[in-house]
């Protein structure tokens, strides 16, 4: 069997009940690894050092890890890690929770009057969002924009739509859910009651009810046995009455559970004193065993696990789409039934409303309706129940039970049901959009696997010239790096191999003019306030200055660079002007009576203008020569990179655009680890202009 790679809602309920013991710990530092693993190093008065690992990439989990097994701290912290440190360093972990019965763990931290919540989404593609005290997203590893929900910096965080919590459902509601199905017991428990496949089978086993029993044949005794099994499971979770196990098959781990499972009786098992400890050991062994299996092919991605993951997500999303369609249809049927039995419904509502106006209590109204039903009054006979707490009555219209609000008329009640149908239909449309995106990811994973399998002669390809290698399809791309003096600036090489450097801020503008602008270089600046000093170097900084003829296309590319990284892009304009002068025309000495700000300069004499320069840039991954991200004018960059993404001013903030480009590169390269090392979102962001961007098809 395939090893477990994601936690179920039951697993998370058990885990959270144990992790609450760490409430009160103080945060020392936060780390981010490879965009998918967040580490929170904390200290606890009783336990000493505490390490929380939150993984939202395969495998997905949250665990208080053994400090001896946490990965070494990464190098330079990316922006996300720095933001997280700024918000929760020295903060106290005050609450560990699970959102409803979903696969979401929440970690709340307080520091003085500040409250920060880390939301770890362990479903679908996974995500981790950081919320402020108002519930707004400060930042997230992934930006989500669907019809059903949005997770984006600056927007209120939206949890997924609520679903039934099987551990808190009443017996009547449980039976109603079961009887509303037209399939067998185990499928109904898995989907309608929201247990998932494994624990649906476990409930059947504990209740001694055949999982293939058709719902139409189920009896009250079997429903009672199933509900009792659910109730006992819920009690064990509430009271942290756990007996965790790691299950093995052929001496390799395949599952970790908070209880012994009847469905796993045939497997070797190891018991643990806590589920968190079992999960920590399981994840460690899972990763080590995966490394051992791949020893012959150390860089081969686990295509099968990735494909299986997306297939599971598609199946879940398709199930949700079907459920939403059925739910919307039920609301519409009830609305139409209200109109079809207009006179009866109006009589019920008028009778109850009049009784309330006369001061009768809900219990009295229920008794009067029961008396009326005994006398054969049709309106009273139609009333099934009265809910005084909610202020509603439920009536039977043909074969449908319909909840009504007596404070409203017939039309308002029907309209409310139609609105509910529309709301659910919108959720269905959001799910359709989500499943389409997941199918694209599934097809991309299959395509990467096919590309790998076509590349059956890697060893021979190693000896070929770089120009003959399809680096996108290679399973392992070698890293070749070097350090250069200009990397702290913005930079690119023109089509004619001239270096162009630009300032990132006022200090760098000062440095470029004072230290690096030499006699035969060319100076560029956008014809707009707010832009980098841009210098096209005729020679290297250690070479003697000499007269060099610079081709027009290199001059045009330098001008485009100056425009792209100026306020022109930030303003959302698609073209701008730039000018070019000789170094002798640039001075830090202002005219008499004038003042130059830091990073400013005076330009004297005639200027050469570049008009209507296109505001477009390319960010790409260079493989040959050096392996790195590069960015700049399309004509210069596209010929140097193995693959690139063309950008223009658009709606995505700089950090979101960097993540979109990163995901695009991951889709294109078979070697995922190579992309993470040389083209992480933070490295990509260094080459993106300030302001919003979007990819050009």
Under the banding of pLDDT at 50, 70 and 90, the label for residue 294 is: very low
Q: Which fold has domain 171-238?
A: Helicase, Ruva Protein; domain 3 (1.10.8)
Question: Would the pLDDT of 164 be above 90?
Answer: no
Confidence of residue 541 (pLDDT cuts 50, 70, 90): low
Mean pLDDT of 471-496: 87
Q: Which residue has the higher pLDDT, 478 or 470?
A: 478
- pLDDT on residue 296: 44
Cis peptide bond upstream of 116, omega within 30? no
**49 φ, ψ to 5°?**
-70, 135
pLDDT at 468 over 70: no
Contact status, residue 238 vs residue 101, Cβ threshold 8 Å = no
Query: Mean per-residue pLDDT for 568-587?
Result: 92
Whether pLDDT at 292 is above 60: no
Question: Which DSSP symbol is given to 129?
Answer: E
The dihedral through the CA atoms of 517, 519, 522, 524 has a sign that is positive
Domain boundaries, the chain: 1-163+242-300, 171-238, 302-313+341-454, 466-480+616-697, 489-614
Q: How many residues does the chain have?
A: 697
- Residue 24 is predicted with a pLDDT of 94
Predicted pLDDT at 295: 43
Contact 678, 625 (CB under 8 A): no
Query: What torsion, rounded to 10 degrees, do the Cα atoms 62, 679, 533, 613 define?
Result: -120
Q: How confident is the model at residue 478 (pLDDT cuts 50, 70, 90)?
A: confident
Say what angle helices 410-454 and 342-357 make with each other, to 10 degrees. Answer: 120
Dihedral sign computed on CA atoms, order 216, 220, 222, 228: positive
Residue 455 is predicted with a pLDDT of 61
Residue 62 forms beta bridges with which residues? 54
- CA-angle at 550, arms to 544 and 553, nearest 5°: 145
- What percent of the chain lies above the pLDDT cut of 90? 47
Cβ atoms of residues 580 and 557 within 8 Å: no
Cα–Cα dist 665/79, whole Å:
20
DSSP H or E run through 117 = strand 114-121
| pLDDT (mean) for 124-153 | 89
pLDDT at 546 over 70: no
Residue 247's pLDDT is what?
93
Is 676 or 619 the better-scoring residue by pLDDT?
619
Q: Which fold has domain 1-163+242-300?
A: ibrinogen binding protein from staphylococcus aureus fold (2.30.310)
273, with CB counted inside 10 A (0-12, 13-18, 19+), is exposed
pLDDT at residue 168 above 90? no
- pLDDT at 542 exceeding the cut of 60: no
Residue 454 tokens, joined: 């076509």
Is pLDDT of 141 > 70? yes
* pLDDT, tens digit (0-9, with 9 covering 90-100), for 385-405: 888 888 899 999 988 889 999
Residue range 586-615, pLDDT digits in tens: 887 776 667 667 667 888 899 999 999 999
pLDDT of residue 504 exceeding 50, the answer is yes
Token pair for residue 284? 């460690």
Q: Of 93-107, 146-160, 244-258, 542-556, which gets the smallest average pLDDT?
A: 542-556
pLDDT score, position 150: 86
Instruction: Name every residue whose Cβ is closer than 8 Å to that of residue 694 and which is 6 or more positions away in sequence.
Output: 647, 648, 649, 650, 651, 652, 657
Model pTM score: 0.54
- Is the per-residue pLDDT at 574 higher than 50? yes
Q: Return the minimum-mean-pLDDT range out of 117-131, 259-273, 360-374, 591-605.
A: 591-605
């Amino acid at each position: 069997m395939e090893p477990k790679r994601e936690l179920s809602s039951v697993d998370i309920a058990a885990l959270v009940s144990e992790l609450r013991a760490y409430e009160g710990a103080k945060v020392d530092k936060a780390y981010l690894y490879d965009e998918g693993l967040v580490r929170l190093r904390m200290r606890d008065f009783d336990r000493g050092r505490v390490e929380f690992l939150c993984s939202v990439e395969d495998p997905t989990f949250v665990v208080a890890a053994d400090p001896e097994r946490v990965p070494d701290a990464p190098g330079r912290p990316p922006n996300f890690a720095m933001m997280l440190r700024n918000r929760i360093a020295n903060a106290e972990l005050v609450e560990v929770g699970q959102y409803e019965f979903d696969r979401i763990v929440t970690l709340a931290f307080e520091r003085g009057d500040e409250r920060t919540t880390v939301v770890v989404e362990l479903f679908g593609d996974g995500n981790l969002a950081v919320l402020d005290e108002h519930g707004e997203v400060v930042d997230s590893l992934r930006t989500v924009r669907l019809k059903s929900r949005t997770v984006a910096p600056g927007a209120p965080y939206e949890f997924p739509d609520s679903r039934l919590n099987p551990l808190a459902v009443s017996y009547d509601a449980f039976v109603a859910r079961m009887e509303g199905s037209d399939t067998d017991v185990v499928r109904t428990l898995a989907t309608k009651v929201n247990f998932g496949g494994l624990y649906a089978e476990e409930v059947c086993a504990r209740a001694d009810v055949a999982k293939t029993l058709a719902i139409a044949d189920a009896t009250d005794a079997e429903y009672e046995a199933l509900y009792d099994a659910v109730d006992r499971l819920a009690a064990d979770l509430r009271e942290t009455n756990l007996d965790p196990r790691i299950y093995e098959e052929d001496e390799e781990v395949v599952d970790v559970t908070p209880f012994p499972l009847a469905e796993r009786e045939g497997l070797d098992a190891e018991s643990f004193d806590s589920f968190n400890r079992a999960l920590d050991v399981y994840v460690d062994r899972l990763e080590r065993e995966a490394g051992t299996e791949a020893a012959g092919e150390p860089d081969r991605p686990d295509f099968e696990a990735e494909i299986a993951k997306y297939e599971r997500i598609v199946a879940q999303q398709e199930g949700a789409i079907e459920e939403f369609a059925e739910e919307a249809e039920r609301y519409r049927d009830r609305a139409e039934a209200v109109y079809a039995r207009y006179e009866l419904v109006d009589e019920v509502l008028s009778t109850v409303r009049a009784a309330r106006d006369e001061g009768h209590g809900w219990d009295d109204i229920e008794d009067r309706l029961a008396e009326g039903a005994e006398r054969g009054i049709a309106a009273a006979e139609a009333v099934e129940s009265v809910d005084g707490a909610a202020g509603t009555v439920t009536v039977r219209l043909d074969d449908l039970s319909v909840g009504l609000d007596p404070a409203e008329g017939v039309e308002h009640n029907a309209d409310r049901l139609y609105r509910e149908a529309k709301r659910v239909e919108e959720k269905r449309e959001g799910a359709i959009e989500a499943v389409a995106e997941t199918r694209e990811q599934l097809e991309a994973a299959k395509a990467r696997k096919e590309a790998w399998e076509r590349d059956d002669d890697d060893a021979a390809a190693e000896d070929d010239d770089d120009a003959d290698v399809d680096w996108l399809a290679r399973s392992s791309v070698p890293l070749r790096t070097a350090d250069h003096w200009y990397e702290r600036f913005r930079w690119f090489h023109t089509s004619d191999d001239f270096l162009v450097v630009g300032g990132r801020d006022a200090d760098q503008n000062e440095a470029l003019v004072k230290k690096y602008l030499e006699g035969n270089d060319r100076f560029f600046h956008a014809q707009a306030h707010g832009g980098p000093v841009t210098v096209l170097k005729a020679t290297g900084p250690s070479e003697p200055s000499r007269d060099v003829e610079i081709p027009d296309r290199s001059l045009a590319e330098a001008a485009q660079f100056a425009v792209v990284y100026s306020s022109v892009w930030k303003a959302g304009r698609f073209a701008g002007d730039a000018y070019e002068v000789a170094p002798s025309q640039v001075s830090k000495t202002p005219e008499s009576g004038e003042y130059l700000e830091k990073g400013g300069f005076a330009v004297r004499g005639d200027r050469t203008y570049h008009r209507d320069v296109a505001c477009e840039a390319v960010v790409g991954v260079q493989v040959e020569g050096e392996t790195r991200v590069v960015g700049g004018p399309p004509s210069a960059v596209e010929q140097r990179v193995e693959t690139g993404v063309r950008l223009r001013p658009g709606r995505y903030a700089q950090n979101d655009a960097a993540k979109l480009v990163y995901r695009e590169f991951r889709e294109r390269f078979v070697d995922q680890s190579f992309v993470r090392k040389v083209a992480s979102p933070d490295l990509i962001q260094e080459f993106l202009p300030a302001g919003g961007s979007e990819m050009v098809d």
